[in-house]
């Protein structure tokens, strides 16, 4: 009875938030002006091609962000209507154990201890609303992070087009990318462990030979990559200061 008014109000609030977000991005990054003279760059240069490609990604990500919550709600409502036939494949980072000795009718040869352990990204065909909402929410967050990265890269390309090779603004953008990279690689393992863990614990078998359990894994490469980006931003900041000092000397 109250579902449609609640969904309608939530949709309006979300539309306002997306509109405000797009306005902030447009003012701060997409049409950023500079006091430096704009260099007349040929149409088919690498920077122009990269900028056009980033424009395509930008529009694509905005479309996903707009329609994603609508898909989430529609699929959730349809699950209530047809709970026995509704299902979807979702990917979850999962630990698993396969104990061959505990499975009747299976014999192993060539293994001293026939237990297989591991962790991997697995696809599950499920009707779990919790799993579906968690999957779509994490994908929406991934899209928002990707949008942030594309916006920063596009602003950097526009700065290069304006002849600002060594710019403190670009150094700040690289630093933001480094911080986001570190934060993402630190937060997501906890989401995988606690969020997907609650969903994975709902999966059970009639034998102890097959078990799924939450998996936790920090990406050292991602964290190191974020640190290197922050270091690179510091180097660019110093280079921009040296370049500005040289211009003042001249």
pLDDT tens per residue, range 197-223: 888 888 877 777 788 888 888 888 999
Per-residue confidence at 15, pLDDT binned at 50, 70, 90? Answer: confident
* Rounded (10°) angle between helices 46-81 and 129-161: 170
Among residues of the chain, what percentage have pLDDT more than 90?
11
52 vs 244, residue with greater confidence: 52
Which is it for strands 88-99 and 115-126: parallel, antiparallel or unpaired?
Answer: antiparallel
Per-residue confidence at 72, pLDDT binned at 50, 70, 90? Answer: confident
User: Mean per-residue pLDDT for 158-164?
Assistant: 77
pLDDT of amino acid 41: 54
Tokens of 217: 């894994």
pLDDT of amino acid 239: 80
Q: What residue ranges do the domains of the chain occupy? A: 45-249
pLDDT of amino acid 37: 42
Question: Please, what is the average pLDDT of the chain?
Answer: 78
**DSSP 3-state of 66:** helix
Nearest to 243 by CA among 161, 142, 171: 171
User: Mean per-residue pLDDT for 186-194?
Assistant: 89
Tokens of 37: 């003279």
In sequence order, what E strands does 186-228 have? Answer: 210-214
pLDDT of amino acid 34: 44
């Amino acid at each position: 009875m109250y579902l449609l008014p609640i969904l309608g109000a939530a949709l309006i609030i979300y539309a306002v938030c997306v509109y405000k977000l797009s306005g902030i991005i447009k003012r701060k990054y997409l049409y950023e002006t500079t006091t430096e003279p704009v260099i007349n760059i040929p149409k088919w240069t690498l920077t122009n091609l990269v900028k056009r490609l980033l424009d395509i990604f930008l529009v694509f990500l905005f479309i996903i962000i707009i329609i994603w919550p609508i898909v989430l709600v529609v699929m959730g409502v349809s699950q209530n209507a047809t709970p026995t036939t509704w299902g979807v494949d979702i990917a979850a980072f999962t630990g698993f154990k396969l104990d061959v000795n505990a499975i009747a009718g299976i014999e192993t040869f060539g293994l001293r201890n026939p237990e297989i352990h591991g962790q991997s990204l697995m696809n599950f065909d499920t009707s779990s609303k919790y799993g579906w909402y968690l999957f779509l929410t994490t994908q929406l967050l991934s899209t928002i992070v990707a949008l942030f990265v594309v916006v920063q890269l596009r602003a950097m390309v526009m700065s290069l087009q304006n002849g600002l090779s060594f710019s403190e603004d670009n150094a700040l953008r690289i630093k933001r990318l480094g911080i986001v990279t570190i934060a993402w690689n630190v937060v997501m393992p906890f989401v995988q462990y606690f969020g997907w863990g609650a969903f994975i614990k709902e999966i059970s078998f009639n034998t102890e030979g097959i078990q799924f359990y939450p998996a936790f894994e920090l990406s050292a490469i991602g964290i190191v990559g974020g640190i290197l980006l922050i270091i690179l931003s510091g180097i660019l900041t110093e280079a921009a200061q040296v370049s500005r000092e040289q211009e003042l000397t001249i």
